Amino acid sequence: MNFVKMMNWGKENTIISIAILLLLIGIISNIYVHATKSITSDDFIEIDGKKLSVNEIFSTYESKTIQNTITKENYTGVSLEDIIKLAGIKNPEAYSYTIIGSDGYRKTVKWEDIESGILTKSLRVVFEDLPKAYMVRDVVKIEVIG
């Protein structure tokens, strides 16, 4: 027996109520996201509490080109390993790193991934062996995870 054919107004009201609830969740989430959005600058990237100038990063180190093994696309930028070392992280291989974009999107990667990763001029991180979901855009912060 088809359930929907047995639907009465009450069940239709339930569907409408669920839709309104989801609508409210979406609206409240948008308000929350905008209210908690931190002001960031395109000029600096914060690494473990230390602010590094983007200009300094790109003027200090030469860019290199890597190919992502999954998308097969080539990307050019400064080695993430160099940037981490520039931030003065001691024993960098002992940590994991959470890369955070200006929209709050974040991905945590291991040191081995950092070694094969780059930061492009558009401030996007790219790794040789990780999928696109790891290519955080508009990077504003890198947290060092013990």
- Residue 3 or 65: the one with the smaller Cβ distance to other proteins is 3
Between CA 90 and CA 109 the distance in angstroms is 17
Under the binding rule (CB under 8 A), the answer on residue 121 touching other proteins is no
H or E segment to which residue 47 belongs: strand 44-47
- Residue 60 or 122: the one with the smaller Cβ distance to other proteins is 122
Of 43, 48, 62, the C-alpha closest to 138 is 43
Q: Residues 10, 39, 72, 91: which binds other proteins (CB under 8 A)?
A: 72
Under the binding rule (CB under 8 A), the answer on residue 3 touching other proteins is yes
Cβ atoms of residues 99 and 145 within 8 Å: no
Sheet with 64-67, side-by-side order of all strands: 64-67, 74-79, 117-120, 125-127
Under the binding rule (CB under 8 A), the answer on residue 41 touching other proteins is no
Q: Which positions lie near other proteins, rule CB under 8 A?
A: 2-5, 7, 9, 12, 15-16, 18-20, 22-23, 25-27, 29-30, 32-33, 36, 68, 70-73, 98, 103-110, 113, 129-134
